[in-house]
Structure 1
């Protein structure tokens, strides 16, 4: 099953540009999209020699995709992994909702949800939201060391 997912991912993931290398894939806005999103992040990071960030990146994209699934009624999401600079990697999920996510303060440790952005905030160097003509993109940046 994993081999089939990886083959489909390799067949459909597309480079974003030569100026800022990256990969992007459009996925259904459904819980099952977490698996290919995580694979996209892991493959991109390994390709760039940043495999040490793979677990963190996979967790960040899991929360981004899960937030879109939970809080929007969009049909698809666009997951992107890019290198806008030498010192960081950006992991993003775009959907058709204009609702801006906010970092919540939980009133109890017993609440089952509401930790997605708190996890992203804890794992990333910085995170944010970009409004798009047809929705928004939520992103998180992971710092990476430049090896010379």
Structure 2
């Protein structure tokens, strides 16, 4: 009998629809738990939500791809790919009454690092959690 090891990456094709965010967070948590990284699940859920919210707000097409990947050394990379070449730019810290502009600040606070990679069809925004 051969035991299969969990995949090193999983990909979900989805639409950045706020009504679906709860289900995406659940799948994200379940995958990190399967990899033994329950300690990173809350940060991953936050990053997934913020990245998908940015697609929903700033990209004409809601079609996107979520990739969860185990990294050597035990980390996890969360990537959301969309069909826009517009790179997200962190805004200066928003004022107390502003309702938007905190997403990238939150991602930076919980991640080891994050960035954007341009592709032929758009971009990938990725977050590394350790």
TM-score computed with the length of structure 1 as normaliser: 0.79
Unpaired runs of 5+ residues, structure 2, are 1-6
Q: Is the Cα contact below 8 Å between 2:56 and 2:62 reproduced in 1? A: no
Q: Which residue matches 1:27?
A: 14
Q: Which residue matches 1:112?
A: 99
Q: Identify the structure with bigger relative contact order (alpha carbons < 8 Å, sequence gap 6+).
A: 2
Q: Is the Cα contact below 8 Å between 1:23 and 1:40 reproduced in 2? A: no
Identify the match of residue 56 of structure 1 among 12, 18, 43: 43
> Is residue 63 of structure 2 the alignment partner of residue 72 of structure 1?
no
Task: Provide the rounded CA distance (Å) in 2 between the counterparts of 1:119 and 1:44.
Answer: 22
Equivalences, count: 125
User: What's the CA shift for 1:107?
Assistant: 4.7
Instruction: Name the SS of the counterpart of 2:47 in structure 1.
Output: helix
Identify the match of residue 110 of structure 2 among 108, 115, 123: 123
Instruction: Name the SS of the counterpart of 2:71 in structure 1.
Output: strand
Task: Provide the rounded CA distance (Å) in 2 between the counterparts of 1:36 and 1:27.
Answer: 11
The residue correspondences of 1:90-101 to structure 2 (distance < 5 A) are: 90-101=77-88
Q: Which residue matches 1:38?
A: 25
Q: Which residue matches 1:138?
A: 125
User: What's the CA shift for 1:37?
Assistant: 2.1
Task: Provide the rounded CA distance (Å) in 1 between the counterparts of 2:66 and 2:15.
Answer: 10
Residue deviations 1:5-47 (CA, integer Å, cap 9, x gap): xxxxxxxxxxxxx6xx111101112212312321221111101
Unpaired runs of 5+ residues, structure 1, are 1-17, 144-148
